[in-house]
């Protein structure tokens, strides 16, 4: 599986500290780090390491990783492939964009809008690489990757072959897919359907449509929507900024919990705690109802900036869903804070919060 016309992986850096490759800026060393500049070198490197039974950790943007202070006993593969191509389907006539897994996600969104297309604008400002988006079924402001995903190219590591997979094969759900928590299939490219004439997706998120002066369910210019999404995200510390420690995070640390239909006892416990006159925010979900993790955290007594300015790890000062490194934290300290919040919400409301990031060689 070699090709003399492509770039080769950069030589492995021995004992490289993984904190430098994550948005949390946490994590110990790997035995080696290899940088792959294109899909062929990525496939070749994974296949070679698999042939030697070497443990591997794939890193794109590093925005959804919590790596232990002990690091990773194996080789970390940094995905740096960068191809972006536009096309149109022969049957549907719809325009689509295909991007390598290593493409910076927000760069992809900006590029599609710059070329005169819409669809991905509500997902602006999300850190990380394009290849991770279908794994998590990334979503924001009323739009999910599943809404526009055309296909995903994966490396089947057992067969050492590439193949394209349709969205129907991926088990896409709220912040999950059949690709999550498995490593036998690696995403190497993604393809998305786009809207013509810079037209956005229907605006379903009330805060966003109100800010744009557009009725819920209507569409708007994708560029205008992108700018407003970025403004909203900046206000919540959710656009990466090296000078703002509220962005030294893995994004939303906990997923919004989904209660099964008829979970009256949980809702009763919440009302008992907060009072009958308080409206509990709920949202429709498959086979149940979705609660707001941020709302539960705050109502359980965890304010923004908890536990205080002297702590090396804190909840963001802008919203309570992000756990942040204030500059000199350790992963163990971050996990202690996560356990504190998780336990407090469980004791207050009977709801267990589950972490959204991938935990490498650690747990809560």
Q: Which of 40, 150, 175, 233 is catalytic?
A: 175
- Whether 175 sits among the annotated catalytic residues: the reply is yes
Closest C-alpha to 200, from 229, 235, 237: 229
- 3, two tokens: 């090709």
**Contact 360/334 with Cβ under 8 angstroms?**
no
* Whole-angstrom distance, CA of residue 205 vs CA of residue 321: 18
- Per annotation, catalytic residue among 209, 252, 298, 316: 252
- The DSSP string of 153-220 is EEEETTTTEEEEE-GGGTT-BTTB-TTTT--SEEEEEEEEE-BGGGBPPP---HHHHHHHT--TT---
Rounded to whole angstroms, the Cα distance separating 106 from 69 reads 29
Residue 90 annotated in active site? no
Query: 188: cis peptide before it, omega within 30°?
Result: no
Question: Which among 45, 121, 144, 356 is annotated as catalytic?
Answer: 356
> Which of the residues are catalytic?
175, 252, 356
């Amino acid at each position: 599986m070699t090709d003399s016309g492509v770039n080769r992986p950069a030589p492995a850096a021995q004992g490289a500290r993984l904190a430098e490759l994550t948005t949390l800026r946490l994590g110990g060393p790997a035995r080696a780090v290899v940088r792959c500049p294109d899909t062929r070198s990525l496939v070749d490197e994974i296949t070679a390491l698999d042939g030697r039974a070497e443990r591997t950790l794939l890193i794109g943007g590093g925005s959804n990783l919590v790596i232990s202070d002990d690091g990773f006993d194996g080789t970390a593969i940094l995905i740096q492939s960068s191809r972006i191509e536009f096309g149109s389907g022969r049957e549907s006539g719809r325009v689509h964009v295909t991007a390598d897994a290593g493409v910076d996600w927000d760069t992809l969104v900006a590029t599609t809008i710059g070329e005169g297309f819409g669809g991905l604008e509500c997902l602006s400002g999300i850190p990380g690489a394009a290849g991770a988006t279908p794994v998590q079924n990334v979503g924001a402001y009323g739009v999910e990757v599943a809404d526009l995903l055309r296909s995903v190219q994966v490396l089947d590591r057992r067969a050492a072959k590439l193949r394209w997979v349709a969205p129907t094969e991926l088990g896409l759900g709220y912040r999950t897919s059949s690709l999550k928590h498995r490593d036998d299939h690696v995403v190497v490219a993604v393809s998305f359907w786009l809207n013509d004439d810079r037209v956005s997706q229907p605006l379903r998120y009330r805060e966003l449509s109100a800010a744009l002066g557009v009725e819920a369910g209507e569409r708007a210019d994708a560029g205008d929507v992108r700018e407003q999404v970025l403004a909203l995200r900046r206000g919540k510390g959710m656009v990466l900024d090296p000078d703002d420690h509220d962005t030294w995070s893995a994004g939303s640390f906990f997923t919004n919990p989904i209660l099964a239909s008829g979970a009256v006892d949980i809702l009763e416990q919440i009302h008992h705690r907060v009072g009958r006159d308080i409206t509990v925010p709920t949202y429709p979900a498959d086979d149940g109802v979705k609660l707001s993790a941020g709302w539960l955290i705050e109502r359980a007594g965890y304010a923004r900036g908890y536990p205080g300015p002297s702590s090396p790890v804190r909840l963001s000062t802008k919203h309570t869903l992000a756990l942040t490194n204030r500059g000199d934290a350790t992963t163990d300290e971050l996990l202690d804070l996560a356990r504190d919040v998780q336990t407090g919400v469980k004791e207050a409301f009977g709801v267990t919060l589950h972490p959204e990031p991938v935990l490498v060689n650690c747990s809560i």
